[in-house]
């Protein structure tokens, strides 16, 4: 019993404890509201179910949040990822729509390469403004957040581009090894980023730049290049997320694609335990945060909550998670609870000491 009591504070104080608890509570609430919610079944060799759908729909947000994690770890922020999502999807769908055979794998690959290249240029633009010119990250990326959305509208001529391409649709709704392809792709990118940042010195360098850029520069680290790389990686992740989102609906809408995804990505990063001040980052926490946000969104619609109050409900849950995660809030709560409970009863050894005195 005593060992459990000593381990409990360490468990509850872990950065992922409360996000996981809230995630489990949301899943339990959905299961109570709809008993078939947790059911997963095999149809035509593919896995189907609400849980599978949640992970599949979380895939684009996981990708965007991974790139956002690296940017935030360097002490920056990227508000333009939603616009990059819209631009990448618009470029890919526009090229495919102009092909006589939209099911041609070669044409789809060319479209993906073009869209990915444009997205990398947008990430390079952000990185140059922040790392080379020295503009504040929130201002630099806000420029592309606005201009990028206009660029997406310009590419689509203000219209919704609809395509009918099976190879492209595979990215969003296809299956591989019984799982949705979006899940496999998000898992592959997550593992790639984890290997590059946790199995090499890159992750430590990123944290050093975010913790103290000047000290890392004096230590021989090229902080500007690291910041530039972080914004390029963020744009690359957003580009792949753009492919998923547009492939899921077989169309590109420059105005609506990726709208406000940057805010969900920032929330996922914060819920996962990464500080907005930069420094230490946690990729696993980011993935849990993205799953939590998507589960919350799914729960809002599944439980028929009024759309006008859905965002308020979502905000309240996110605020609650962030509060219980905050060390200062937990410390203040413990002090208040201790004051309310009064002084603790003396133990047996303390009573013996009091009698002997």
- Specify the 3-state DSSP secondary structure of 250: coil
Question: What pLDDT, in 10s, does the model give residues 183-235?
Answer: 999 999 999 999 999 999 899 999 999 888 778 877 888 889 999 999 999 99
Distance CA 15, CA 78 (A): 23
> What pTM value is reported for the model?
0.87
Top pLDDT among 311 and 18 is at 18
Place of tokens 């631009």: 87
> What separation in angstroms does the CA of 304 have from each of 15, 37, 189, 294, 330?
31, 15, 34, 16, 33
Residue 347 pLDDT greater than 80, yes or no:
no
pLDDT at 276: 84
Question: What pLDDT, in 10s, does the model give residues 255-313?
Answer: 888 888 998 999 899 888 888 888 889 999 999 999 999 998 888 887 777 766 767 77
Residue 343 pLDDT greater than 70, yes or no:
no
CB-based contact 208:216 (threshold 8 Å): yes
Question: What pLDDT, in 10s, does the model give residues 298-334?
Answer: 888 877 777 667 677 777 877 777 777 666 776 777 7
CB-based contact 231:72 (threshold 8 Å): no
**Domains of the chain and CATH, by start:** 49-326 (1.10.3470)
pLDDT at 324: 72
């Amino acid at each position: 019993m005593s060992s459990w009591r000593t381990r409990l504070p360490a468990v509850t104080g872990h950065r992922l404890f409360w996000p996981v608890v809230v995630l489990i509570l949301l899943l339990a609430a959905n299961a109570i509201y709809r008993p078939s919610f947790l059911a997963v079944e095999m149809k035509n060799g593919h896995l189907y179910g609400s849980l599978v759908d949640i992970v599949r729909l979380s895939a684009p947000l996981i990708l965007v949040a991974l790139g956002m994690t690296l940017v935030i770890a360097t002490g920056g922020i990227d508000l333009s990822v939603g616009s990059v999502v819209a631009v990448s999807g618009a470029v890919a769908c526009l090229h495919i729509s102009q092909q006589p055979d939209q099911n041609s794998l070669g044409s789809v690959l060319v479209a993906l390469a073009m869209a990915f290249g444009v997205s990398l240029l947008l990430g390079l633009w952000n990185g140059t403004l922040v790392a080379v010119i020295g503009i504040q990250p929130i201002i630099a990326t806000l420029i592309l957040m606005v201009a990028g959305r206009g660029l997406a509208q310009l590419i689509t001529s203000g219209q919704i581009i609809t395509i009918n391409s099976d190879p492209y649709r595979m990215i969003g709704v296809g299956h591989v090894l019984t799982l949705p392809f979006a899940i496999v792709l998000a898992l592959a990118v997550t593992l790639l980023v984890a290997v590059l940042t946790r199995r090499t010195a890159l992750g430590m360098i990123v944290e050093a730049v975010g913790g103290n850029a000047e000290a890392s520069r004096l230590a021989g680290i090229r902080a500007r290049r690291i910041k530039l790389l972080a914004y390029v990686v963020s744009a690359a992740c957003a580009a792949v997320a753009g492919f998923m989102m547009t492939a899921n609906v077989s169309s590109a809408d420059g105005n609506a694609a990726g709208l406000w995804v940057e805010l969900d990505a920032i929330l996922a990063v914060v819920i996962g335990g990464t500080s907005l001040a930069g420094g230490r980052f946690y990729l696993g926490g980011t993935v849990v945060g993205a799953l939590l946000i998507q589960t919350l969104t799914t729960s809002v619609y599944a439980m028929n909550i009024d759309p006008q109050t859905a965002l308020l409900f979502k905000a309240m849950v996110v605020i609650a998670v962030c509060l219980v995660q905050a060390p200062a809030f937990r410390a203040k709560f413990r002090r208040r609870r201790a004051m309310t409970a009064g002084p603790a009863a003396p133990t047996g050894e303390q009573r013996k000491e009091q009698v002997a005195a």
